[in-house]
Amino acid sequence: MWQSNKRGERAFRHGQEAFSLAAAQARTCHKFCPDVEDEWVTDEERSCYNCLLRRWTVTSFLCMATI
């Protein structure tokens, strides 16, 4: 599900449209924090795509929960 980049950050390796995988990952994350609703990408609140701790990249996002 995750891939480490050169700086040791966790990159979601399934891209920006793996909605069910991002939701499943967020359900198991103890650090999930919903972003403001205006920044949500999906209607499902608990999704990595809607997390305050995600940082978008060109192809996916980085999870900042572990930093």
47-67 residue pLDDT tens: 999 999 999 999 999 999 975
**pLDDT score recorded for residue 9:** 92
Q: Which domain holds residue 38?
A: 2-63
* Residue 60 CB contacts under 8 Å (≥ 6 apart), including other chains: 11, 12, 13, 14, 15, 16
**pLDDT score recorded for residue 52:** 97
Nearest one of 65, 26, 58 to 42, comparing CA atoms: 26
- The pLDDT mean for the chain works out to 95
For 4-45, write each residue's pLDDT tens digit: 988 989 999 999 999 999 999 999 999 999 999 999 999 999
Q: How many domains in the chain? A: 1
15 backbone φψ class: left, alpha, beta (φ>0; ψ -120 to 50): left
**pLDDT score recorded for residue 5:** 87
Quick one: tokens of 5?
Answer: 């980049």
C-beta neighbour count of 50 within 10 angstroms: 23
